[in-house]
Structure 1
Amino acid sequence: MTAEDHPSATPDGPVAVLANPTAGRGRHRGLLAPLLSRLATGGRPVRLLEAGSADGAEAACHAAVAEGAAALVAVGGDGTVHRALQAVAGTGIPFGPVPAGTGNDFAADTGYPPDPLAAAEVIAGALRAGRSHPVDLARLTSPTGPPRWYGAVLAAGFDAIVNERANRMRWPRGRRRYDLAILVELARLRPRRYKLRLDGEPHEVDAVLVAVGNCPSYGGGMRICPDADPTDGLLDVVVGGRLDRRTLVRVKPSIYQGTHVRHPLVHSYRVRSVELAAEGITTYADGERSLDLPVTVTAVPGALRLLR
């Protein structure tokens, strides 16, 4: 798609709102009406998008953008944001995340308040003022699938493997399923051979943790790429090498503070693009199941206009 092909916001078009009623285990469900009212103070009509599935949500966002929405707002967590980003990335149509999920890393790392109503007020104020700020996104491509965009972090190591196992499990439900998946994968833990090209420079490493960050955090506040900045035009690549079970369990809690990068087996790189290959890994972007390795990740400066 060329720049001329991109949809453009219609001056009197509506603010399209994608809301995930199950985000954050439904704890913000009663806030939707006041959130829509708050967004309406931005001076534009507000249109709530209808979607019955994640794929349906993404399609509804694409349709709203194609029909001339003035802006797109996502009410939910990082997964809801991820779906919305596919429609607005590279278009110039402004976007606002209202953090109402279990993990709200993209909204937090780009400066939105954690309270959903306060975030909606920030977005409404930006709409009234006609104000938006550019931030970078990461563009993800592979030999087999269409390109994807993400805003926060791509997981391509142990955490991606745990997510993949948890998503295949039917029992137990909720957080316990993820905890059980961690225990199973810890018992099976082994370094995998990764081939990386960092801005064209080849590297081969044995590693258990690999993350590519446009923003610092994933998983609800884990600062896996603590120095990542979504305005610098670069990606932060963090690689945890041959960590054994005991060391990984000891290092994992320090990810919340971002101090894991001080461990001698953890290495960080800052690049414009990274090619990443390994056997049997399905990546997770913004916490959502994404493309199988191999992939290429490229920083795209200013790919998103944030209502802030």
Structure 2
Amino acid sequence: MLAVTAEDHRPTGPVAVLANPTAGRGRHRGLLPRLLDGLAAAGRPVQLLEARTPDEAEAACHAAVAGGAGAVVAVGGDGTVHRALQAVAGTSVPFGPVPAGTGNDFAVDTGFPADPLAAVAVIADALRAGRSRPVDLARMTTARGGDRWYGAVLAAGFDAIVNERANRMRWPRGPRRYDLAILVELARLRPRAYTLRLDGEEHRLDAVLVAVGNCASYGGGMRICPDADPTDGLLDVVVGGRFDRRTLMRVKPRLYQGTHVTHPLVRSYRARTVELAAEGITTYADGERALDLPVRITAVPAAVRLLH
């Protein structure tokens, strides 16, 4: 593991806050005024960004950074964090994730408290002290020019296929839509042929689950890449091979403890650069719809500075 040191960065611009009121099915919506007050207690101006859609949220973060924001804070789940990361990645603007969503994997895996008010207290203390610390991000690119950053995990197997189906469905609404998508895709389950290049070394394999992790968890605490470390300059790749339906459903609960990696059909790898190809797969990064395969994923050390 690379040594991680806290450094003093005292940007002078306002703290730009991206808040998703629907994150976590709205259960933390009433907390927003207290969260903003907690940030303001650091003695810095606080600017609440206006956005009605995910694309507008991302654009607002880019505009805030370009306009001289001294920090960006995302109040929401991994999807909200993902949008903000597109703007702060590769810059010196520090970032604070406040876990207030259904899935808060990046925030928790990088050491922030799971309670939103406690996370704001950590961020405010770092703002007062001018303190931030670097962590890695993963950068996705395609031959067609696509480019995305992510902080937690890229899903490129069964879970991505389920997400894609759920997003196409208009009924039912809420969590039941995702449950129905799982049932439909389980009925259609089949291993797919993947080509995987790890730092240039090619592997051809049939798989049902494929994940590329900068952090350990996705989906609200499933430790799909249990040994991933967002400070080591490497990506962890976990591949679940030729699972049938029954075996997959038996292994799935083990994801929460990370013990699935001991199953004989699961293989784990580690690399700085991962090239992944398969037919008909749209990837999901930090739970957000990302790029179609094939993609190239690179670990970028110290790509973002966290207010911690």
TM range (shorter): over 0.9
TM-score, normalised relative to structure 1: 0.96
Q: Is the 1:10–1:69 contact (alpha carbons within 8 Å) kept by the matching residues of 2?
A: no
Question: Once superposed, which parts of structure 1, at least 4 consecutive aligned residues long, lie more than 3 Å away?
Answer: none
Matches within 5 A, 1:145-184: 145-184=145-184
Matches within 5 A, 1:43-62: 43-62=43-62
- Unpaired segments of 5 or more residues in structure 1? 1-8
Counterpart position of 1:18: 18
Matches within 5 A, 1:1-308: 11-308=11-308
CA distance in structure 2 between the partners assigned to 1:11 and 1:171 by the alignment: 47
Q: Is the 2:161–2:281 contact (alpha carbons within 8 Å) kept by the matching residues of 1?
A: yes
CA distance in structure 1 between the partners assigned to 2:145 and 2:257 by the alignment: 35
Code of the aligned partner of 2:218: Y
Q: Is the 1:10–1:68 contact (alpha carbons within 8 Å) kept by the matching residues of 2?
A: no
CA distance in structure 1 between the partners assigned to 2:226 and 2:107 by the alignment: 16
CA distance in structure 1 between the partners assigned to 2:164 and 2:278 by the alignment: 15
TM-score, normalised relative to structure 2: 0.96
Q: Is the 2:96–2:307 contact (alpha carbons within 8 Å) kept by the matching residues of 1?
A: yes
Deviation at 1:146, TM superposition (A): 2.6
CA offset digits 1:47-67 (Å, max 9, x no partner): 000001000000000000000
CA distance in structure 1 between the partners assigned to 2:42 and 2:146 by the alignment: 35
Q: Is the 1:218–1:224 contact (alpha carbons within 8 Å) kept by the matching residues of 2?
A: yes
Q: Is the 2:146–2:291 contact (alpha carbons within 8 Å) kept by the matching residues of 1?
A: no
CA distance in structure 2 between the partners assigned to 1:154 and 1:137 by the alignment: 11
Q: Is the 1:96–1:306 contact (alpha carbons within 8 Å) kept by the matching residues of 2?
A: yes
CA distance in structure 1 between the partners assigned to 2:240 and 2:153 by the alignment: 15
CA offset digits 1:76-135 (Å, max 9, x no partner): 000000000000000011000000000000000000001101100000000000000000
Code of the aligned partner of 1:211: A
Deviation at 1:73, TM superposition (A): 0.1
Deviation at 1:10, TM superposition (A): 8.5
SS at match of 2:173: coil
Moved more, 53-62 or 171-180: 171-180
Q: Is the 2:208–2:243 contact (alpha carbons within 8 Å) kept by the matching residues of 1?
A: yes
- Unpaired segments of 5 or more residues in structure 2? 1-8
- State percent identity of aligned pairs: 82
Q: Is the 1:75–1:98 contact (alpha carbons within 8 Å) kept by the matching residues of 2?
A: yes
SS at match of 1:300: strand
Code of the aligned partner of 1:107: A
Code of the aligned partner of 2:199: D
CA distance in structure 1 between the partners assigned to 2:146 and 2:222 by the alignment: 28
SS at match of 2:131: coil
SS at match of 2:146: coil
CA distance in structure 1 between the partners assigned to 2:92 and 2:260 by the alignment: 36
How many aligned positions are there?
300
SS at match of 2:65: helix
Q: Is the 2:10–2:130 contact (alpha carbons within 8 Å) kept by the matching residues of 1?
A: no
